[in-house]
Amino acid sequence: MKNSHPKKIFIEKDVAKSSVTQQILHKLPDVPVEYIDDYRTIKIDECKIDDVFKKSKECLAIARKKGELVKQFKCRDGIIGNTEYYISHGNNCSFDCEYCFLQSYFDNAIPTLFVNHDEILNAVKDVLQVAGDKKIVFHAGELCDALAFDGLTDLSLKFISLFSEFPNARLELRTKTTTIDNLLNVSGINNIVVSWTFSPQVIVDAYEHKTPSLEERISAAEKVQRAGCNVGICLDPIIMCEDWFNNYKAMLEMLFDRLDIEKIKFVSLGGFRYLPSLAKIIRERNPQTNLLLGEFVPCIDGKHRYFRPIRVEIYREIGKIIGEITHDVKVSLCMETREVWNTVKDVL
């Protein structure tokens, strides 16, 4: 289980006897444990902010999720998208991508697993039952990696069991990991999509620290497809780099050559974007980074994005690459404005 063996575990006292907690501890028998009242109050004592993040990612917190367990995506004015839901099953992850918005999102950076699985599954089921026959989409992995700790929790198996009862619904498990064993021996899961964030290896090396390589991700996706599951391709965030076109072109050709196109559910494109609060942390953690050196402009949702003509060029060129390979895969944009959508829709 790559990147999922912590050096220390924090456990909220009221979930200490949970069956999921005990399962995790059984799989990590030699890791020191500290019992706490609330995972949100954990503090990591280091002088430099980069050291705080790095040390945090060596730990693991086990907690009960309070508040909303299923949340609806709310699209701001000017940013278009469908009404979808995400499942709050964890916070943060053990990877350390320089661009990750979670760096400025939570009170701490410790990977946290919520073990009140029955409550989470019941909350999802409630939404599914209200939806009836209407098609509805859920996401796992919005505030963490959906599968990085699946070898400890087996949560994916519980999701698969639930969604098998609701064939009109779809669950997307978004990941960068190779922890896929639970998905290899399950059949009849047409409404589960495992989507990988793919980046050219030059981007992985520069910004996606502690993550599996591009080759490892493609290999994992191949295995999942052979097991009968659909996959998604997420190019998000797309990051401008030297010779970006040829790097992304080579990666896409590799993906479509090795993956079964009939089992690719979608390709999602999204340019790198950030809030000012994230930019501050990126610069504090790595003053030498070139991640923020592009031509960025503030947009209607408060995030900074590449200047619109740059984004349009990126989407059009990538759309053309995909179109030259296949017209059988749906291509869409993630968190983009209507103006950009309208400018590039002829090639997507």
CA dihedral 75, 147, 244, 253 (to 10 degrees): -110
At residue 163, does pLDDT exceed 90?
yes
Residue 309 near residue 339 (C-beta atoms within 8 A): no
Q: What is the pLDDT of residues 128-137, one digit of tens each?
A: 999 988 889 9
pLDDT higher than threshold 70 for residue 76 = no
- Contact 231/220 with Cβ under 8 angstroms? no
Residue 8 within a domain: no
In a domain, 186, yes or no: yes
CA distances in angstroms from 286 to 194, 236, 260, listed in the order given: 32, 21, 39
Q: Is the pLDDT of residue 331 over 70?
A: yes
The answer to the question of residue 313 being in a domain is: yes
- Residue 26 CA to residue 101 CA, distance in Å, equals 32
Q: How far apart are CA 185 and CA 14, in angstroms?
A: 33
pLDDT above 90 covers a percentage of the chain that reads 88
| Residue 2, pLDDT above cutoff 90 | no
Domain membership flag for residue 233: yes
Residue 147 has pLDDT above 90, yes or no: yes
Mind listing the pLDDT tens digit for each residue in 20-63? 999 999 999 999 999 999 999 999 998 899 999 999 999 999 99
| pTM confidence score | 0.94
Query: Can you give the residue range of the structural domain that contains 277?
Result: 65-347
Question: Could you tell me if residue 291 is inside a domain?
Answer: yes
- In a 13 Å sphere around the CA of 94, the CA atoms on its Cβ side amount to 24
User: So what's the pLDDT on residue 338?
Assistant: 87
Considering the domain boundaries, does residue 19 fall inside one? no
Average pLDDT, the chain: 94
Q: 89 pLDDT exceeds 50?
A: yes
Is the CB of residue 12 less than 8 Å from the CB of residue 63? yes
Looking at the 3D structure of the chain, how many domains does it have?
1
**Nearest-angstrom CA–CA distance, 182 and 204:** 25
Does a structural domain hold residue 338?
Answer: yes
CATH code at position 163: 3.80.30.30
Would you say residue 32 lies in a domain?
Answer: no
| Sign of the CA dihedral running 336, 273, 218, 160 | negative
Q: What is the DSSP string of 12-54?
A: EGGGTT-HHHHHHHHHSTTS-EEEES-GGG-----SSHHHHHH
